[in-house]
């Protein structure tokens, strides 16, 4: 049974037995096992098709593995591609924040650091494929803890994340296991004892605060002169949707069906690819003679058959493919439709208008709205740890008719300010806006200085 924060409190002073039990219980939980399977599908190692085995049955029903016919394992890449599309749609261009009047730079984004967008993208992707992931705000850097490395301890009554255990090993059961217990008042580090392959943990670093003030000097080196913690646990859960479940759920069956049909098609093509022969009046041949006859026929493509008394007739076998291709096409469309993804084949072939492109994106926009709602809540909780209140802005990564959209923006430029015009241009990314505005202001200031008359000229005119 998965452990809770109340179980953690009831465990008493020695937390090592609890940490060991909590990690083992979490590794058996449905959320964890689903995440492990989702990682396999994300690496295009679809479990169902990779474990598929063909069997033969005799007259009385005994089963034996078929080791002679083809058994291709062809895994599709739907899971990675569609999740990557949804995440990239909202987060590929990063996020930004509203700037105050007269402010030229995004000060909030600057405080979050250069790597924030990359880590947020990683958190968003894991939240989709695992159902949830956890972001750890460490002073000025965001870290991502996937559910395969983090055991959450929720409050049984409020559902709030009160504590958690991060754990990892280079090779589980062979190499040492590292564990960190995160609480509101600090964190404690643990490691397995030397030579142990089990969760035989011992304290490695005692509890310390999340924020330490360090003084450095040549004589004394580094010295901790102050410690502090955040107002809440600096670990925030990020859910991929309001359902709080992996996108693999409900999608796996369709992917497996597609892979099985695709692999079966390839198997039939390989098994039926050669011409086979029926030999008449060859009852005198034993198994060895038949094998020699076949090998010589395959090698030389001609062979004598029993002085004219035997007759060989070649046959070919056509594999039915139309029904399979129809099924694969229909299943592919269903996967895209159910996921709310964009099938680029719908916007290819000829020049598409902006209206047609927007219509193709509508299902994806609906899913992005729900996903961005989770991102907004996650980012706001991170900002609250820093004492900041704001709402992130997204610039979605879309295929657009840039010429048509640019013309529309420029037609309205006379009634819009310069910053709005730049933000609306389809080929300008969020990260470029501040630099473009700054350079534009510099050019305007330089042009103004150049246009001013020199003092000598003014006196001469006077």
Least confident of 32-41, 90-99, 281-290: 281-290
- Dihedral Cα 79, 82, 86, 92, nearest 10 deg: 100
Question: How many residues are listed for the chain in this entry?
Answer: 462
Domain limits for position 424? 400-452
43 inside domain: yes
The pLDDT of 232-249, averaged and rounded, is 96
- How confident is the prediction for the chain on average, in pLDDT? 84
Query: Would the pLDDT of 115 be above 50?
Result: yes
User: Are 162 and 174 a contacting pair, CB within 8 Å?
Assistant: no
Is residue 363 assigned to a domain? no
The pLDDT assigned to 146 comes to: 98
- Which of 66-80, 188-202, 338-352, 447-461 is least confident? 447-461
| Region 45-52 average pLDDT | 88
Q: Do 294 and 315 fall within a single domain?
A: yes
Identify whether residues 232 and 261 lie together within a single domain: no
**Cα–Cα distance for residue pair 164/151, rounded to 1 Å:** 6
The last residue of a domain, from among 214, 239, 264: 239
Burial class (CB in 10 A: 0-12, 13-18, 19+), 130: buried
For 398, residues 6+ apart whose C-beta sits below 8 A from its C-beta are 89, 357, 361, 426
Measured at the CA of 207, the angle between CA 205 and CA 212, to 5 degrees, comes to: 100
* Res 309 pLDDT > 80: no
Query: What is the DSSP secondary-structure string of 325-346?
Result: HHHHHHHHHHHHHHHT---GGG
Same domain, 200 and 129: yes
Instruction: Return the beta strands (E) in 173-309 as ranges.
Output: 178-183, 186-192, 201-208, 211-217, 221-228, 235-239, 276-280
Residues 325 and 439 grouped into a single domain: no
Q: CA 42, CA 45: separation in Å to the nearest integer?
A: 7
pLDDT at 422 over 70: yes
Q: Is the pLDDT of residue 214 over 80?
A: no
Is residue 269 domain-shared with residue 230, that is, in the same domain?
A: no
Range name among 12-26, 135-149, 352-366 with the lowest pLDDT average: 352-366
Are the CB atoms for 87 and 125 separated by under 8 Å? yes
Is residue 458 in a domain? no
- What are the residues whose beta carbons fall under 8 Å from the beta carbon of 278, sequence distance 6 or more? 312, 313, 315
The pLDDT, as a whole number, for residue 317 is 60
3-state DSSP call for residue 137?
A: strand
Over range 58-75, report the average pLDDT. Answer: 74
Closest of 422, 450, 342 to residue 86, by C-alpha: 342
Q: What is the mean pLDDT of residues 381-396?
A: 93
The residue-averaged pLDDT of 34-41 equals 97
Is a pLDDT exceeding 70 seen at residue 198? yes
CA atoms within 13 A of residue 268's CA, in its CB half-sphere:
12
**Within 10 A of 52 (CB to CB), how many other CB atoms are there?**
16
Q: Using an 8 Å Cβ cutoff, are 292 and 100 in contact? A: no
| Residue 18 belongs to a domain | yes
pLDDT of residue 462: 36
- Position 38 in a domain: yes
Q: Which of 1-5, 103-107, 258-262, 280-284 is predicted with the least confidence, judged by mean pLDDT?
A: 280-284
Q: What is the pTM of this model?
A: 0.79
Q: Structural domain tally of the chain?
A: 3
In a domain, 354, yes or no: no
Q: Identify the band that residue 338 occupies on the pLDDT scale cut at 50, 70 and 90.
A: very high
Q: Is residue 362 part of a domain?
A: no
Domain stop point among 341, 369, 388: 341
404 pLDDT higher than 70: no
Contact 151/24 with Cβ under 8 angstroms? no
Residue, of 211 and 154, whose pLDDT is higher: 154
pLDDT reported for residue 459? 46
- The answer for residues whose C-beta is within 8 angstroms of residue 253's C-beta and 6 or more apart is none
Q: Which of 164, 183, 161, 80 is nearest to 378 (CA)?
A: 161
Read off the tokens for 301. Answer: 């493509």
**218-237 per-position pLDDT tens digit:** 766 677 767 899 999 999 99
Specify the pairing of strand 161-168 against strand 150-154. antiparallel
Indicate if 335 and 427 belong to the same structural domain: no
């Amino acid at each position: 049974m998965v452990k809770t924060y109340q179980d953690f409190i009831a465990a008493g002073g020695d937390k090592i037995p609890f940490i060991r039990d909590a990690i083992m219980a979490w590794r058996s939980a449905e959320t964890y096992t689903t995440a492990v399977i989702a990682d396999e599908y994300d690496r295009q190692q679809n479990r169902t098709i990779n474990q598929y085995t063909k069997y033969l049955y005799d007259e009385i029903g005994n089963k034996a593995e078929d080791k002679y016919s083809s058994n291709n394992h062809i895994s599709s890449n739907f899971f990675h591609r569609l999740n990557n599309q949804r995440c990239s749609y909202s987060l590929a261009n990063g996020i930004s924040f509203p700037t105050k009047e007269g402010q030229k730079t995004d000060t909030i984004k600057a405080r979050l650091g250069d790597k924030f967008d990359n880590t947020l993208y990683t958190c968003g992707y894991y939240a989709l494929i695992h159902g949830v992931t956890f972001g750890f705000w460490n002073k000025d850097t965001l870290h991502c803890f996937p559910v395969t490395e983090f055991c959450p301890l929720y409050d049984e009554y409020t559902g709030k994340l009160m504590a958690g255990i991060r754990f990892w090993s280079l090779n589980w059961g062979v190499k040492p296991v590292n564990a960190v217990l995160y609480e509101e008042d600090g964190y404690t580090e643990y490691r397995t004892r030397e030579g142990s392959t089990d969760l035989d943990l011992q304290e490695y670093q005692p509890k310390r605060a999340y924020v330490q003030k360090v003084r450095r000097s040549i004589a004394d080196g580094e010295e901790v002169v102050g410690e502090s913690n955040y107002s809440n646990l600096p670990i925030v859960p990020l859910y991929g949707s309001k359902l709080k479940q992996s996108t693999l759920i409900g999608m796996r069956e369709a992917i497996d069906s597609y892979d099985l049909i695709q692999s079966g098609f390839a198997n039939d093509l390989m098994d039926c690819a050669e011409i086979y022969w029926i030999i008449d009046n060859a009852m005198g041949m034993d198994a060895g003679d038949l094998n020699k006859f076949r090998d010589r026929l395959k090698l030389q493509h001609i062979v004598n058959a029993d002085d004219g008394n035997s007759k060989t007739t070649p046959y070919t076998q056509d594999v039915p493919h139309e029904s399979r291709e129809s099924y694969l096409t229909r299943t592919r469309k269903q996967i895209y439709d159910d996921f709310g993804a964009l099938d680029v084949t719908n916007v290819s072939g000829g020049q598409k208008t902006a209206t047609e492109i927007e219509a193709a994106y509508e299902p994806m926009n609906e899913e992005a709205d729900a996903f961005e709602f989770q991102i907004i809540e996650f980012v706001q909780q991170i900002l609250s740890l820093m004492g900041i209140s704001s709402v992130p802005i997204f610039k979605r990564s879309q295929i657009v008719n840039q010429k048509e959209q640019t013309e529309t923006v420029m037609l309205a430029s006379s009634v819009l300010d310069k910053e709005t015009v730049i933000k609306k241009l389809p080929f300008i990314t969020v990260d470029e806006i501040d630099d473009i505005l700054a350079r534009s202001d510099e050019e305007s200031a330089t042009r103004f200085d150049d246009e001013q008359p020199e003092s000598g000229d003014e006196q001469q005119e006077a």
